[in-house]
Chains A and B, each alone.
Chain A
Amino acid sequence: EVQLVESGGGLVKPGGSLRLSCAASGFNFTDGWMNWVRQAPGKGLEWVGRIKSKADGGTTDYAAFVTGRFTISRDDSKRTLYLQMNSLETEDTGVYYCTDFDVWGQGTTVTVSS
């Protein structure tokens, strides 16, 4: 079954850190360019960033609001995508999805609150 499963969400205080994971199965993860997309409560979908496949350089690009706080990485041997989030702000609260745009995970919820 083609699947992406996110984990690692939770409650964190402003200024704190969190690492999200996304486990892939059932498709060629290694060749995929993978993205993180989020949705704040009551708001629309918002692209966070992307990592290319290792074969295409493995480079990353981020939305402007990331401002150096987030890092996307991948471990192809574990078929897993990561999102390291530092200096979290209340505005980062939302559901975070991993996706190659064909396949989407169910999302993991991040709440930034004191």
Chain B
Amino acid sequence: SYELTQPPSVSVSPGQTARITCSGDALPKKYAYWSQHKSGQAPVLVIYEDSKRPSWIPERFSGSSSGTMATLTISGAQVDDESDYYCFSTDSGGNHWVFGGGTKLTVL
């Protein structure tokens, strides 16, 4: 079955740039999406279609995709950005969604 691979954890100091990667064989042809999920809260979409940002998401969040890897970048990370981040996308057939294993971002 199709898989998306993320690093389990990323750690940065406040104000630094955090980059979280997501690799998958279908990413050259399928969009990557990113959600932020804080414990006990509903997930929040932060990036869709590789690099588009919902209007309610701060500009410091950006996304990119090249080949089999998509990247979520948080420029000038803040303590409030500490969360689990998940990439998700469809398989090559487009009918089944898959989530990456999630990356715990620590900002301290």
Select from chain B the residue with minimum beta-carbon distance to A45.
B99
B96 touches A47 (CB 8 A): yes
Give the interface SS of chain B, mostly helix, strand, loop or mixed: strand
Total count of chain A residues near the partner, CB < 8 A: 18
- What's the interface size class on B, roughly? 20 to 34
- Cα of A63 to Cα of B33 in the assembled complex, Å: 18
| Stretch from A13-21, A75-83, A96-104 forming part of the interface with B | A96-104
Interface string of A21-60 (1 = CB under 8 A from B): 0000000000000010100000011110010000000000
Contacts of B19 in A (CB 8 A): none
B86 in complex: contacting residue of A45, A50, A61, A99, CB < 8 Å? A45
Binding site for A on B (CB under 8 A): 1, 33, 35, 37, 41-45, 48, 54, 84, 86, 88, 95-102
Using a CB–CB distance below 8 Å, which chain A residues touch chain B?
35, 37, 44-47, 50, 61, 63-64, 97, 99, 101-102, 104-107
